[in-house]
Homo-oligomer: A and B are copies of this chain.
Amino acid sequence: MSVTDELLANAERYAAGFDQGGLALPPARRLAVVACMDARLNPYKILGLREGDAHIIRNAGGVITADERRSLAISQRLLGTREIILIHHTDCGMLTFTDDEFKADIQCDTGLRPDWAAEAFPDLEEDVLQSIGRILADPFIPHKHSVRGFVYEIETGRLREVKR
């Protein structure tokens, strides 16, 4: 049995006890969170978010690329969110390699070099600031009065703000 099959049994149990119907499409807290995909980082629990509260956008590193800017533009322009929280974290996989190495390995394996940046970074705090900066520089995200960035400490559960 695959992991997917196991989890589908969980999904049936979830549906059987479901009582969250009737929530509105626009997020109640008017918030979008951009976080790393890391398995140990659960934005619902860390921030105390409930179903219906916030858009959750996640990728490798919690970085800001064109797709996050697309998602944030849709989130703010069509669905009314106003604040943005960015979350990177300690012990992140993105600290363990460089773009050049990773892309050379892939080229060696497949014969092709990826046409995207891997977005690895050597410094966590600097990359949080880089991500904030990319949002502030984006012409299509209208609401920028509250764009705040954090490092989540995998070891302690603490969320620590990063400021210039």
Interface residues of A (CB under 8 A from B): 2-4, 7-8, 10-11, 13-15, 17-18, 20-21, 23, 25-32, 37-42, 44-49, 51-60, 65-71, 73-75, 77-79, 83, 85, 91, 93-94, 96-97, 102, 105-106, 109-110, 112, 114-119, 139-140, 142, 146, 148, 153-159, 161
Whole-angstrom distance between the Cβ of A87 and the nearest chain B Cβ: 10
Q: A2-B146, A60-B74, A156-B21 are in contact. Are A48 and B116 (CB under 8 A)?
A: no
Docked-complex contact B59 and A57, CB < 8 angstroms: yes
Q: Are A159 and B8 in contact (CB under 8 A)?
A: yes
On whether A75 and B60 interact (CB within 8 A), knowing A14-B46, A140-B106, the answer reads yes
